Amino acid sequence: MVKATINFYSQSISQIELKIKEHLKNYSKLNHQVKLLKSIKGIADRTAWQILSELHFGNTICAKAQVAHSGLAPRQFQSGSSVNGKPRICKTGNRNLRKALYMPAMCALRHNRQLSEFYHRLLSKGKLKMVALVAVMRKLLVLAIGILNNDKPFDENWVVKYQQNFALAS
């Protein structure tokens, strides 16, 4: 009984994935956006599909608005000097996008040098592991939005190039 249910759901997932791939073949812009998102280490097919399906597109995508929409924006609890609660994420947003970014963030910690350094820098400042992981999830979403807005694949050496260009300009 359990095996039959597992087989049924596995076949359903396979059929849905085939339909998504077929849809991507018909829409070259969407296929191009999936390839751009997959250039980020940690983001694979399913995550790219989820991000594209959950983001709200206009002419350009505002990163702050999308982060707030996803529920990954930090929310402070402060009032004067007496009330000073721990910052938490604003969970009123899109939980599907948060779920979709959790495992890619874990994967990015192992394979994406910049995000791993960012995570360990937050831990060394005394942040909790989950707080640092949510910050990586937010950073992944902002990276994805930047890549979609600029229509260029992710470049791991962009920080070095930026610093060199900045040094030449000054």
pLDDT in tens, 32-79: 999 999 999 889 999 999 999 888 766 667 777 778 778 787 766 666
Q: Are 40 and 154 in contact (CB under 8 A)?
A: yes
Q: What total number of domains does the chain contain? A: 1
Q: Are 104 and 140 in contact (CB under 8 A)?
A: yes
Distances (CA, A) of 11 to 8, 47, 95, 137, 167: 5, 20, 25, 30, 55
Q: What range does the domain containing 151 cover? A: 2-169
d(CA 109, CA 165) in angstroms, rounded, equals 27
SS3 92: coil
d(CA 133, CA 122) in angstroms, rounded, equals 9
pLDDT in tens, 104-115: 999 999 998 889
**% of the chain at pLDDT higher than 90:** 45
For the entire predicted model, the pTM comes to 0.80
